[in-house]
């Protein structure tokens, strides 16, 4: 199963980008041994529309258009479900075992995710009720994907 981390907005060079990529590289290395085809970071351009609802609609169209066929969508949103790391790992493992071709985690733009993306999501997750900068959410998501790989592999990275 492929994992794709979709992010609206492009990363600038620097420590944040490097850290997110480091976790993705680690997840790729750990995931191959346990049946994951790879983890990919895809950055989509932010909409230039003037109104927030128009921007969210444009970005939703780009996200949904970029999804591979049969991909399950997980939306990352501050109003989503709080899920412990072990349960997130279990969700990924179950989807892998069920033969899902791909799973996409989506981070919206500055105005959030459009209604079409939220409606298409099988799961909406939150990293907490606080609002975080997109660069930090990207790092947290990449780290949680890596953590999930280590949990599924029985690696001691995650400690209870």
What percentage of residues in the chain have a pLDDT greater than 70? 100
132 carries a ligand binding annotation: yes
**Residue 34 main-chain phi, psi, to 5 deg:** -120, 25
* Contact of 109 with 56, CB cutoff 8 Å: yes
Residue 6 in marked binding region: no
The predicted structure's pLDDT at residue 160 = 72
- 28-82 pLDDT, tens per residue? 999 999 999 999 999 999 999 999 999 999 999 999 999 999 999 999 998 899 9
Residue 65 belongs to what H/E stretch?
Answer: helix 52-66
Is position 92 within any domain? yes
The pair of structure tokens assigned to 104 is 């996409």
Half-sphere exposure of 27 (CA within 13 A, CB side): 30
For residue 145, is it within any domain?
yes
In a domain, 158, yes or no: no
112 within domain boundaries: yes
Q: Is residue 159 part of a domain?
A: no
Q: Cβ(82)–Cβ(46) under 8 Å?
A: no
Instruction: Report the pLDDT averaged over residues 88-113.
Output: 94
Give a yes or no: residue 105 inside a domain: yes
Domain count, the chain: 1
Please check whether residue 160 lies inside any domain of the structure: no
pLDDT tens-place string over residues 127-147: 998 888 888 999 999 999 999
Yes or no: say if 106 and 71 are a contact pair by the CB < 8 Å rule: no
The reply, when asked if residue 108 is annotated as ligand binding, is: yes
130 assigned to a ligand binding site:
yes
CATH number at residue 59: 3.40.1280.10
The answer to whether the annotation marks 131 as part of a ligand binding site is yes
- The pTM of the full predicted model, rounded to 2 decimals, is 0.93
Residue 72 within any structural domain of the chain: yes
- Give the 3-state secondary structure of residue 154: coil
User: Can you give the residue range of the structural domain that contains 47?
Assistant: 2-153
Is 79 annotated as belonging to a binding site? no
């Amino acid at each position: 199963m492929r994992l794709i981390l979709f992010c609206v907005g492009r990363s600038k060079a620097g420590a944040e980008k490097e850290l997110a990529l480091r976790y993705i590289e680690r997840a790729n290395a750990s995931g191959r041994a346990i049946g994951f085809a790879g983890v990919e970071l895809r950055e989509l351009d932010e909409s230039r529309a003037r109104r927030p609802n128009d921007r969210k609609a444009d970005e939703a169209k780009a996200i949904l258009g970029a999804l591979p066929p049969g991909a399950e969508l997980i939306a990352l949103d501050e109003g989503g479900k709080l899920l412990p790391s072990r349960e997130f790992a279990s969700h990924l493992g179950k989807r892998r075992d069920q033969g899902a071709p791909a799973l996409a985690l989506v981070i919206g733009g500055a105005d959030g995710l459009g209604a079409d993306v939220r409606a298409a999501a099988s799961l909406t997750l939150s990293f907490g009720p606080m609002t975080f900068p997109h660069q930090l959410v990207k790092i947290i998501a990449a780290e949680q994907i890596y953590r999930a790989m280590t949990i599924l592999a029985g690696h001691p990275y995650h400690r209870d």
